[in-house]
Amino acid sequence: MMRQRIQSIAVYGAGSWGTALALQLARNGLDVLLWDISPEHVDNINRQHENAHYLPGIPFPDNLRCSSDLQAVAAFSDYHLVVVPSHVFRGMLKNLAPLLTEKDAVIWATKGLELDTGKLLHQVLEEELPQCPAYGVVSGPTFAAEVARGLPTAMTVAANEPALAQRVVEAFSAANYRAYISADVMGVELGGALKNVLAIAAGISDGLGFGANARVAIVTRGLAEIMRLGVKIGAQPETLMGLAGVGDLILTCTDDQSRNRRLGLALGQGKGLDEAIADIGQAVEGAKSALSIGKLAEYAGVEMPICQQVYRILYEQLPPRQAVDELLSRDLKAEF
Ligand SMILES: NC(=O)C1=CN([C@@H]2O[C@H](COP(=O)(O)OP(=O)(O)OC[C@H]3O[C@@H](n4cnc5c(N)ncnc54)[C@H](OP(=O)(O)O)[C@@H]3O)[C@@H](O)[C@H]2O)C=CC1
Ligand SMILES: O=C(CO)COP(=O)(O)O
């Protein structure tokens, strides 16, 4: 299908990431309407011309506005970027379903799996929005605060229609921002979901006071888990070795801006799960994905020992130090 350059876009979720992406698109000249579920949050944003709660000190340009009127936002553009946390992804699409038609293209930046089913988000989208055949996902090593400040960033855009990927890449790309085209929707979304669980593992290791060797062992053996599952369910290995795979894995396992890594640090230092998540006060997707990855791994018939230990620490009260001992005492085997 021929697609014109994207001139306007509706963005759903005025949290850190939805706002940062909306800023990037607006600075590139698109008309952007940002939706949030909370009318109070929307009022504050429109009054202050910034998202003081999630990204303080970053002014909104005039072509970025905010609304809590879902019907008006959905009617604003034929392009829809969903950036709500994964546990409300299906509900968001259900609410959008009566408002969208086949002319609408849906892109998401959410990283995670569906909580109860372990489904990938493109599967949820196909179930909830069968009338929207064109869809895609954006992902990569992209901390919201850095994107909001205009710092150099690269990411991957995968879509089931090449012209859509091309137009979304153009919409985001600028002197400070480089987006790459991909056709591997599954690989891009899987990389983004799995790295969050592994970032919790890296944080736990650092929280326990283990060193650089342990952290990088987790990154590398974590990548082996991502590759094993990804290749088994049909992702392209190159995608998992790219920005949305190993790139994002390294970023979130090694930098304290990551909320998933910070959850791990807190657990390793002896904090409880609920307290640690409350202290962070934002989406910590890995805590949810740790629950659903087990289902996907079981379905695919692959072993994911690090992800499994994270699950047991979070939900079966396994002491972090014992989890590490168990990982180190597994049967010796070939690396690949
Ligand atoms: N932050 C980052 O650097 C990056 C985040 N991501 C991904 O983006 C997704 C969103 O994360 P992020 O923006 O960081 O999270 P935040 O915690 O910063 O914001 C969450 C957003 O979701 C909204 N929300 C909460 N509940 C609902 C609901 N029931 N219906 C609709 N909206 C709801 C919140 O609204 P309210 O504030 O009004 O409660 C808020 O706008 C996650 O999947 C994350 O992994 C991906 C790349 C980078
Ligand atoms: O996905 C992210 C960066 O690419 C953000 O990571 P956290 O959700 O761990 O903060």
What CATH number is attached to the domain comprising 138?
A: 3.40.50.720
The domain tally of the chain equals: 2
CATH number at residue 240: 1.10.1040.10
Same domain? For 304 and 246 the reply is yes
Spell out the residues 6+ positions from residue 333 whose beta carbon is closer than 8 angstroms to its own.
none
Q: Do residues 8 and 170 lie in contact, with contact meaning Cβ atoms separated by under 8 Å? A: no
Return d(Cα 204, Cα 53) in angstroms, integer: 28
Q: What is the mean pLDDT of residues 260-284?
A: 97
pLDDT for 1 equals 78
Alpha carbon separation from 152 to 54, 141, 189 (Å, rounded)? 20, 11, 22
The reply to whether 1 falls in a domain is no
Which residues have a catalytic role annotated?
195
Local structure of 323: helix, strand or coil? helix
Same domain? For 171 and 201 the reply is no
Q: Do residues 46 and 19 lie in contact, with contact meaning Cβ atoms separated by under 8 Å? A: no
Same domain? For 26 and 119 the reply is yes
Same domain? For 148 and 222 the reply is no
Nearest ligand 1 atom to the CA of 281 is 17
Same domain? For 87 and 141 the reply is yes
Q: How many whole angstroms from 189 Cα to the centroid of ligand 1?
A: 16
Return d(Cα 24, Cα 322) in angstroms, integer: 44
Terminal Cα-to-Cα distance of the chain (whole angstroms): 42
The mean pLDDT value of the chain amounts to 97
16 labeled part of a ligand binding site: yes
The reply to whether 318 falls in a domain is yes
pLDDT at 321 over 90: yes
Spell out the residues 6+ positions from residue 325 whose beta carbon is closer than 8 angstroms to its own.
none
Same domain? For 218 and 162 the reply is no
Share of the chain above pLDDT 90, in %: 96
Nearest ligand 2 atom to the CA of 248 is 4
Same domain? For 165 and 203 the reply is no
Asked casually if ipTM beats, i.e. exceeds, 0.90, the reply is yes
Return d(Cα 38, Cα 36) in angstroms, integer: 5
* pTM score of the predicted model: 0.98
Q: How many whole angstroms from 237 Cα to the centroid of ligand 1?
A: 28
Tokens coding 136: 């895609």
Same domain? For 134 and 265 the reply is no
Tokens coding 256: 């304290």
Same domain? For 178 and 226 the reply is no
Same domain? For 156 and 229 the reply is no
Is 65's C-beta closer than 6 angstroms to any atom of ligand 1?
Answer: no
Q: Residue 263 belongs to what domain range?
A: 186-328
Q: How many residues are there in the chain?
A: 336
The reply to whether 334 falls in a domain is no
Same domain? For 228 and 304 the reply is yes
Q: What is the mean pLDDT of residues 190-212?
A: 97
Q: Which of 122, 148, 183 is the last residue of a domain?
A: 183
Residue 125: how many CA atoms within 13 Å on its side-chain side?
27
Q: What is the mean pLDDT of residues 62-68?
A: 98
Q: Which of 166, 183, 200 is the last residue of a domain?
A: 183
Return d(Cα 105, Cα 182) in angstroms, integer: 16
pLDDT for 184 equals 98
Q: Which helix (H) or strand (E) holds 303?
A: none
> Which among 169, 82, 179, 176 has a CA at the least distance from the CA of 140?
179
205 labeled part of a ligand binding site: no
The reply to whether 138 falls in a domain is yes
